[in-house]
Amino acid sequence: MKFEDYSIAIDIKRNLERLGFRKPTDIQFKSIPPIMRGEDVLAIAQTGTGKTAAFAIPVINTLNERRRTRSAEEIRCLVMVPTHELALQITEVFDAIANRTRVKTLCIFGGVDQEPQIAALQKGADILITTPGRMFDLVSQGHLKLNQVEILILDEADHMLDLGFIGDIQDMIKFLPKKRQTLFFSATINEKIKKLAYSLVHNPIRIQISPKDPVAKNIQHAVSFIEMDEKRFFLERIIKEHPISKILIFVRTKVRAERVAKAMERASIKTLTMHSDKEHTERLMVLDEFKKGKTKILIATDINARGIDIPHVDYVINYDLPEVAENYVHRVGRTGRGEQKGQAISFCSSEEKPILKEIEGFLQKPIHVLEIDKNDYQATIEYGNESIAPNTDWKSLIDQAEKEDEIIKKKKRKK
**Whole-number Å distance between alpha carbons of 272 and 282:** 11
What integer is the mean pLDDT of 323-352? 87
Task: Provide, rounded to the nearest whole percent, the portion of the chain with pLDDT above 90.
Answer: 52
Cα(76)–Cα(70) distance, integer angstroms: 9
- Quote the pLDDT of residue 312: 87
- Pairwise CA distance, residues 312 & 308, whole Å: 12
The pLDDT assigned to 389 comes to 47
3-state secondary structure of 109: coil
* Other beta carbons within 10 Å of 19: 14
| Residue 384, pLDDT above cutoff 80 | no
User: Which of these, 267, 269, 268, 307, lies nearest to 287 by C-alpha position?
Assistant: 307
Average pLDDT over residues 38-67: 90
Among 269-273, 319-323, 360-364, the range scoring the smallest mean pLDDT is 360-364
Question: How would DSSP label each residue in 211-229?
Answer: -SSSS-TTEEEEEEE--GG
Q: In this predicted structure, what is the pLDDT of residue 308?
A: 64
Q: Sorting pLDDT into bands at 50, 70 and 90, what band is 62?
A: very high
List, for residues 182-199, the tens digit of each pLDDT value.
999 988 788 888 888 898
Q: What average pLDDT does range 381-409 have in this prediction?
A: 63
Cα-only R_g, the chain:
23
Enumerate residues 6+ apart whose C-beta is below 8 A from 42. Answer: 184, 197, 198, 201, 204, 205, 206, 207
pLDDT single digits (tens) 72-100: 667 999 999 988 888 988 999 999 999 99
Q: Is the pLDDT of residue 346 over 90?
A: yes
Kindly report the average pLDDT of the chain as a whole number. 87
pLDDT band of residue 119 (cuts 50, 70, 90) is: very high
pLDDT given at position 415:
55
pLDDT of residue 258: 94
State the DSSP H helix or E strand holding residue 207, giving kind and residue range, or none if neither: strand 205-209
Report, as an integer, the average pLDDT of 250-260: 93
Q: How confident is the model at residue 179 (pLDDT cuts 50, 70, 90)?
A: very high
CB 86 within 8 A of CB 31: no
Distance from C-alpha of 150 to C-alpha of 77, rounded to nearest angstrom: 6
The band of 275, judged by pLDDT with boundaries at 50, 70 and 90, is: confident
The string of pLDDT tens digits covering residues 135-170 is: 988 998 989 999 999 999 999 888 888 778 888 888
What is the pLDDT at residue 390? 52
Residue 314's pLDDT is 93
Check whether 319 has a pLDDT greater than 80.
Answer: yes
All domains of the chain in start order, with CATH: 3-209 (3.40.50.300), 219-414 (3.40.50.300)
298 Cβ neighbours under 8 A, 6+ residues apart: 247, 248, 249, 271, 272, 273, 274, 286, 290, 304, 310
Q: What CA–CA distance (Å, rounded) separates 112 from 137? A: 13
Question: What integer is the mean pLDDT of 107-121?
Answer: 91
d(CA 300, CA 304): 6
Please name the residue ranges forming H helices in 216-341. Answer: 231-241, 254-266, 280-291, 325-332
